Amino acid sequence: MDDKTLEASRKDYTSSGLTEEELAADPFTQFRQWIKQAQEAGLYEPNAMVLTTVSGDGVPSSRMVLLKGFGPDGFVFFTNYASRKGTDLEADGRCALLFPWHPLERQVRIEGTASRLDESASDSYFASRPRGAQLGAWASPQSSVVSGREVLDEEYDEVSRRFPGDVPRPPHWGGYRVVAATVEFWQGRPGRMHDRLRFRRTPEGWTVERLAP
């Protein structure tokens, strides 16, 4: 695809809109409705979300992770605490989440603060993972530079031999919960006049604001 093709590449969003009257009373009910519709539409990994963090010296970084739970207490995912995202969150818990549901012409944007789950919750989720994923959590020094693929394969094989039975959760691996300060529901509309309705947390509860597209 050349530059001219990129310049001309666009799609007019016409599938639906989003009004204040249609919006649920709280962001978690609205999110539950939308992610259910994404699942029913057959979207590939509808729980995949872009997580953006900022390092201690202010450098941003984004990557895809999988949502593993949500509710009024926050949005949950799991990772290696020593990874880039883990070290970022330990330095500054402020972060952003983005669900890019392109086939539905929708996005959900979340801004908030992440903190670690308690160890029992991380233990419980880790025990439910497939064995291969459990071994990978031990074998991969996530985000670190390695000399080649063979290093990872050798470490995976070594870990597999070390744990022939149950695999315990590594002490450097676990969950985070993002407590939302804002949750924006974005619905595409014709002429780039998209609907953007944002829940913002206040001392009195959630307030809804319409943002210009």
Q: List residues with catalytic annotation.
A: 192
Q: Which helix (H) or strand (E) holds 184?
A: strand 173-187
Task: List Cβ neighbours of 97 (8 Å cut-off, separation of 6 or more).
Answer: 49, 50, 51, 52, 67, 75, 108, 109, 110, 111, 112, 178
For 4-64, the DSSP string reads: HHHHH------S----TTTS-SSHHHHHHHHHHHHHHTT-SSTTEEEEEEE-TTS-EEEEE
Residues 141 and 154 sit within 8 Å (Cβ to Cβ): no
